[in-house]
Amino acid sequence: MSKTKIGASLRAMHRDPIRAFGVVSVVLLLVLAIAPAKDFFSQWRSYQSQYLRLIRDRGDAVTLRRHFQGGIRQIWIAQLGVVDRCQTCHAGLTEPTLVDVKRQPFRPHPPIPHSADQFGCVICHRGQGEATTVEDAHHSTLAGEEPILPARYLEASCGQCHHEVLKGTPKLNQGRVLLSRYGCVRCHAVRLPDGSAMKASDVPPPLTHIADKTSREWIYAWLKDPASYSASATMPNFHLSDADARDISAFLMANSAPKAADVVVSQGTGKQEDPAAGASIYGQSFCASCHAAQNAGGNLVGGDLGPELTRIGNKVKPEWLEGWLSDPHSYDASTTMPHYRWSAQQLGLVKAFLLGKTDSDFLANVHLDSATPAQIAHGKTLTDYGCAACHEIRRIQRPENYAPELSRIGSKPVVQLVFNEGMRHTLPDYLATKISQPRSFGPGLRMPQYSFTPDQVDAITTALLALTDRSYSLPSSLQVPAQHDSEYRAAGGAGKLMEDFNCYSCHRINGRGGDMAPDLTWEGSSVQRKWLDDFLKNPNTLRPALLRRMPKFNLSDSERAVLTESIMNVYQTPAFDRDEMPASGYPAALVEQGRQLFYSRYACQSCHIVDTKQDKGYIGPPLYQVGLRLTAAWIFHYLKDPQALRPGTIEPKQKMSDEDARALTAFLMTQKSAGKQEGAR
Amino acid sequence: MRTAAWGSCLIALGLWCGCSHKHAVAPLLHATANGSALLESSGGKQLSSPGSTLAQPLVVQVNDKQGNSVTGALVTFSGPAGVTFNPPQVLTDSSGQASAQVTLGESAGRYDLIASSIDSGGKTFDLAIPVFAAGYQQQVGHEVEDTYCARCHDPESTTQRVSNYDNLAVKPHAFGEGDFLNKLSDSDLTTIISHGGQSMNMSAQMPPYGSTLPKSDIQALIAYIRLVSDPPYKPAGVVYAKR
């Protein structure tokens, strides 16, 4: 029927060519009008007219109107591969005076150190810069295209270029620390664009001599649930079956080689030790600077450099503990634990104190029959869980490329991911779930369960999202490399002692070491020889309120002499001669002038104590004996420019004249109240 | 014909009702008691980044007229666009407290969260609790504050940091103290931070940081001070001639 109808109308047209021409023309015009109409009614035009209405009645309308460019606004940065049309709709993006506008797409961008003209938008926010509709720009789910990055992970974008510890991005920094601290990078390689690799910062103990150290029951309980032994464990939970945990513990015990040095003849006094005396040695040795333990209130108190000691008595064998305390390096050459020189009596007290830290419930329900060869063999195959990626195990090779490399995980296309049911199909959601519930993606997966808080999951996801293809394709001039520790090792006898005491665990020297204690790179220019010698003999407390302090190592006279000599001679700044100013003999008038400056003009007493009766400032170290501690030249130059001598110190640089600095130096060098020092001890 | 039209209308209506009913997912909670006042227990004035979940939950308490806590009162949390609460509605527990996890919106700035409840007369009463989403600059300012300023300006001591506040002869102003700080212009604050308290006839115990901190850090610090100010800071803005 329709065929005949069309045929009839064609015949009618044929009969009346003028009318036919009219109809065809109208149709043609209508067709031609489609494109301009689509353009005219496009989303971005509507936003631009909304923007013009928004600014029309403002006080700054004239300026805003002048800045406004109609039409498609495009930024093209060929060098970075950026084509952005975002500002077509986000018309107020670079107008700081619109700060009161809360409505998108018209909010101004909050201040950042980069300008949109230099970098565009998509480098940080992702999305499709070329798109001119809201949907296409933000939410595209096509393969190879990127949806916009949710704001909670935005710091990831900074991390594409900034591999250093960056100010203003706490999440990114924390995430990177966690990737290292929890040993993620031991299984998953992460290479950075500059060719370096992310390094792990945890110290998983070697298991070569594990049978000397602990019992099979403890290993079993630890493998089953590390958190039940120590809430702060970095070892994850592999959700092992009872049989698997039994077999791994059997294998580890059978595989362990005894270490001769561990068999130390007990030097203890033999009698029941007084736990209070042990606690006091534990306190004096500042074990809590590195080790945490639960107090009576159930709160963890102490540092996290070493393992938690709350239930240490459940774990270690007494003879091993004695060997460890008398020289940790003989069991584990790479340990960060310092070698204390305890007397036999002190060592016995510490040992008894630590062995008393037990939880009677902890191993109460663990009963293991003796291991069969089949169990041991099965246990060996179970090291396939990746045990050797972290721990040194005899006769087990460290696996290479054990888990997928994550160097470009932040650009992984969504189509290559397998999602769980009910999950949102985005890369950040995938990563966050993978980190918080790795086993939810299917049975038989080996990635263990960590006990990260939601904040930590966010942080790790952020750090992973920073590992993008783009970070490799951006010009290398934009890349800020990560700062790695130097390989510095002090030379000679002092160098050996410093390894033995593990000074680097807390002190930084020439770019190597921790940040718990002062940087010692220029200590020789800073302190007086006698003070240093006395301090090493008995580290009295410069700041008694600090929880983490220098322990007393009980150095022998000769060891002390070697260290003092080396520090005084080697660790000197090239900036000045430490003997260029006298230690005493300053005129009284100059000292008095210094006193005036100290208390009035510079108000140093806000942070430092000189007169213990009236000053209260407690931010910087007390200075009542600074004349015995520091060199005059150090004080003078430090006052002139503190950050030049101690980078990052919060002591403000004051644009101080030489005259003022000299007077203050004279005043401070007279502060030698040794009597107070005795009192502090 | 007409019957068919009416029929299809009815079916369409039914479908529409069925579908729209699906959206009302939250189980309705019913208050078993009513209070008359809301108090903040914890979680206010937290600082986080845009789009993030606050580290601590927001906890409020419902009290009755006598000041005793009320169990079973319905508390509804709400906030500016983009803020989500988990759960958005909660009944107070045996100690009269209601808590929710808060996820901030995607833009930086101050978020005034509202906790509201209904008294026995059916009247709504509420409590506004500010929390802050720090943008990049404000986050930098927060880090500067934490390193350089908090030891004196924050009267609270923590396990990591003993406050120096009580040791000072002239007490410093806390950074949330909007009544005082909002009256100072950005350039006044820059002067005090850069050149010390003496430069504005204030305490010499406030040292100058102009040679220690780069200008960008001082600007960031001011941006942070403006963010956490309570009552909120309202910039004077640029004054233009009327057209």
3-state secondary structure of A435: helix
A476-491 pLDDT tens trace: 889 998 888 889 999 8
A99 and chain B: CB distance < 8 Å anywhere? yes
Tell whether the model's pLDDT for residue A4 goes beyond 80: no
8 A C-beta contact, residue A640 and residue A576: no
Lowest mean pLDDT segment, chosen from A260-264, A545-549, A567-571, B62-66: A260-264
Tell whether the model's pLDDT for residue B84 goes beyond 80: yes
* Amino acid symbol at A492: G
Tell me what the mean pLDDT of segment A104-130 comes to. Answer: 91
Please give the pLDDT value at position A13. Answer: 74
Query: Is the domain defined by A588-680 classed in CATH 1.10.760.10?
Result: yes
3-state secondary structure of B103: strand
Lowest mean pLDDT segment, chosen from A455-469, B2-16, B136-150: B2-16
* Chain A positions in Cβ-Cβ contact with residue B193 (cut-off 8 Å): none
Residue A442: left if φ>0, alpha if ψ -120 to 50, beta else—which one? Answer: left
Q: How many Cα neighbours within 13 Å face the side chain of B18?
A: 6
B203–A654: do the CB atoms touch at under 8 Å? no
| Length reported for chain A | 681
Q: Which tops the pLDDT comparison, A543 or A463? A: A463
In terms of CA atoms, which chain B residue is nearest residue A104? B107
A59–B242: do the CB atoms touch at under 8 Å? yes
A167–B205: do the CB atoms touch at under 8 Å? no
Domain ranges of chain A: 2-39, 43-148, 170-201+404-478, 210-390, 492-570, 588-680
* Chain A positions in Cβ-Cβ contact with residue B53 (cut-off 8 Å): 152, 454-455, 458
Lowest mean pLDDT segment, chosen from A36-40, A159-163, B44-48, B128-132: A36-40
% of chain A exceeding 70 in pLDDT = 95
Which of A594, A670, A131, A172 shows the shortest CA–CA distance to B52? A172
- For all residues of chain A together, what is the average pLDDT? 89
Q: For A41-91, where are the alpha helices, taking DSSP H only? A: 43-56, 61-67
Other Cβ atoms less than 10 A from the Cβ of A495: the count is: 15
Tell whether the model's pLDDT for residue A177 goes beyond 70: yes
Stretch (H or E) spanning B42: strand B37-42
Topology agreement, domain A210-390 and domain A492-570: yes
Work out whether strand A82-84 and strand A75-77 pair parallel, antiparallel, or are unpaired: antiparallel
In terms of CA atoms, which chain A residue is nearest residue B170? A606
DSSP string, A328-339: GGGT-TT-----
pLDDT band at residue A143 under the 50/70/90 scheme: low
pLDDT band at residue A364 under the 50/70/90 scheme: confident
Please give the pLDDT value at position A274. Answer: 72
B151-171 pLDDT tens trace: 999 999 887 788 999 999 999
- In angstroms, the separation between the Cα of residue A652 and the nearest Cα of chain B is 6
Tell whether the model's pLDDT for residue A263 goes beyond 70: no
Tell whether the model's pLDDT for residue A160 goes beyond 90: yes
Please give the pLDDT value at position A679. Answer: 35
The domain A210-390 is placed in CATH, from the list 2.60.120.10, 1.10.10.10, 1.20.1430.10, 1.10.760.10, at: 1.10.760.10
State both tokens at A98. 């619109």
Tell whether the model's pLDDT for residue B1 goes beyond 50: no
Question: What are residue B86's DSSP bridge partners?
Answer: B101
Q: What CATH superfamily classification does A170-201+404-478 receive? A: Cytochrome c-like domain (1.10.760.10)
Which of A502, A503, A507 shows the shortest CA–CA distance to A517? A507
State both tokens at B108. 């930086």
pTM: 0.89
Tell whether the model's pLDDT for residue B12 goes beyond 60: no
Tell whether the model's pLDDT for residue B23 goes beyond 60: no
Tell whether the model's pLDDT for residue B173 goes beyond 70: yes
B139–A99: do the CB atoms touch at under 8 Å? no
A102 and chain B: CB distance < 8 Å anywhere? yes
Please give the pLDDT value at position A297. Answer: 85
A152–B237: do the CB atoms touch at under 8 Å? no
pLDDT band at residue B8 under the 50/70/90 scheme: low
Tell me what the mean pLDDT of segment B87-98 comes to. Answer: 93
Scanning A105-164 for CB atoms below 8 A from B yields 107, 110-113, 150-155
A185-229 pLDDT tens trace: 999 999 999 889 999 988 899 999 999 999 999 999 999 999 999
Which structural domains are found in chain B, ordered by start? 37-133 (2.60.40.10), 136-228 (1.10.760.10)
Tell me the ipTM for this assembly.
0.89
What is the DSSP secondary structure assignment for residue B101, as one 8-state letter?
A: E
Cα(A56)–Cα(A59) distance, rounded to whole angstroms? 9
Nearest Cβ partner of B107 from A107, A167, A170? A107
Please give the pLDDT value at position A283. Answer: 87
Nearest Cβ partner of B162 from A169, A618, A654? A618
For CA atoms A403, A409, A413, A417, the dihedral sign is positive
Cα(A278)–Cα(A347) distance, rounded to whole angstroms? 9
A150–B147: do the CB atoms touch at under 8 Å? no
8 A C-beta contact, residue A581 and residue A632: yes
Tell whether the model's pLDDT for residue A77 goes beyond 70: yes
Residue A536: left if φ>0, alpha if ψ -120 to 50, beta else—which one? Answer: alpha
Tell whether the model's pLDDT for residue A635 goes beyond 90: yes
Please give the pLDDT value at position B77. Answer: 95
pLDDT band at residue A38 under the 50/70/90 scheme: confident
For CA atoms A175, A180, A182, A183, the dihedral sign is positive
CATH architecture of A492-570: Orthogonal Bundle (1.10)
Please give the pLDDT value at position B18. Answer: 45
Cα(B98)–Cα(B93) distance, rounded to whole angstroms? 6
A582-629 pLDDT tens trace: 999 999 999 999 999 999 999 999 999 999 888 888 888 899 999 999
CA dihedral A13, A15, A21, A27 (to 10 degrees): -10
What is the DSSP secondary structure assignment for residue B78, as one 8-state letter?
A: E
Tell whether the model's pLDDT for residue B24 goes beyond 50: no
3-state secondary structure of B40: strand
What is the DSSP secondary structure assignment for residue A148, as one 8-state letter?
A: B
Nearest Cβ partner of B205 from A104, A606, A650? A606
Scanning A635-654 for CB atoms below 8 A from B yields 642-643, 650, 652-654
A425-476 pLDDT tens trace: 899 999 999 999 999 998 888 899 999 999 999 999 999 999 999 999 888 8
3-state secondary structure of B77: strand
A395-417 pLDDT tens trace: 899 988 889 999 999 999 888 89
Cα(A288)–Cα(A301) distance, rounded to whole angstroms? 7
Lowest mean pLDDT segment, chosen from A210-224, A310-324, B27-41: B27-41
State both tokens at B37. 């006042």
* Chain A positions in Cβ-Cβ contact with residue B80 (cut-off 8 Å): 102
- In angstroms, the separation between the Cα of residue B174 and the nearest Cα of chain A is 17
Cα(A99)–Cα(A89) distance, rounded to whole angstroms? 17
Tell me what the mean pLDDT of segment B127-139 comes to. Answer: 95
At residue A124, φ and ψ (nearest 5 deg) are: -95, -45
